Amino acid sequence: MALPDHFEGEDVIITFEREDSGLVSNAEGKVLSWNVGGGAQPTEDVYAFGGKTFNFQKPREKFTLSFEVMINNSDFDFVQFGSGTSGAAFGSMTGRVVSSADTTSRWRIIFWFQTAASHLATGTVVVPDKTVSCYRMIFCDCKAVTFEKEFSAEEYMKGTLNLEFSATDSNGYANYFEDEGIGVGTAAGTTLASLTTSAGKGLLTKAKGYLDWSVTTTRSWTEGTTSTWYRT
Residues 20-40: tens digit of each pLDDT: 888 899 988 889 999 999 999
Determine the pLDDT at residue 224.
86
Question: Among the listed ranges 144-148, 169-173, 181-185, 186-190, which one has the minimum average pLDDT value?
Answer: 186-190
Total structural domains in the chain?
A: 1
Model confidence at 185: pLDDT above 70: no
Model confidence at 186: pLDDT above 60: no
Whether 188 is covered by a domain: the verdict is: yes
Whether 39 is covered by a domain: the verdict is: yes
Average pLDDT over residues 43-68: 94
Determine the pLDDT at residue 109.
96
The CATH number of whichever domain residue 30 belongs to comes to 2.30.110
Please give the radius of gyration of the chain, using alpha carbons only, rounded to the nearest integer: 20
Contact 13, 126 (CB under 8 A): yes
Whether 227 is covered by a domain: the verdict is: no
Higher pLDDT, 149 or 200: 149
Determine the pLDDT at residue 108.
95
Whether 76 is covered by a domain: the verdict is: yes
> Average pLDDT of the chain?
88
Model confidence at 1: pLDDT above 70: no
Whether 22 is covered by a domain: the verdict is: yes
Whether 232 is covered by a domain: the verdict is: no
Taking the C-alpha atoms of residue 127 and residue 120, their distance in angstroms, rounded to an integer, is: 5
Average pLDDT over residues 101-105: 86
pLDDT digits (tens, 9 = 90+) for 67-78: 999 999 999 999
Query: Residue 31's domain spans which residues?
Result: 9-43+55-222
Whether 50 is covered by a domain: the verdict is: no
Taking the C-alpha atoms of residue 108 and residue 66, their distance in angstroms, rounded to an integer, is: 14
Dihedral Cα 142, 60, 33, 102, nearest 10 deg: 20
Whether 183 is covered by a domain: the verdict is: yes
**Longest Cα separation, the chain:** 72
Model confidence at 193: pLDDT above 60: yes
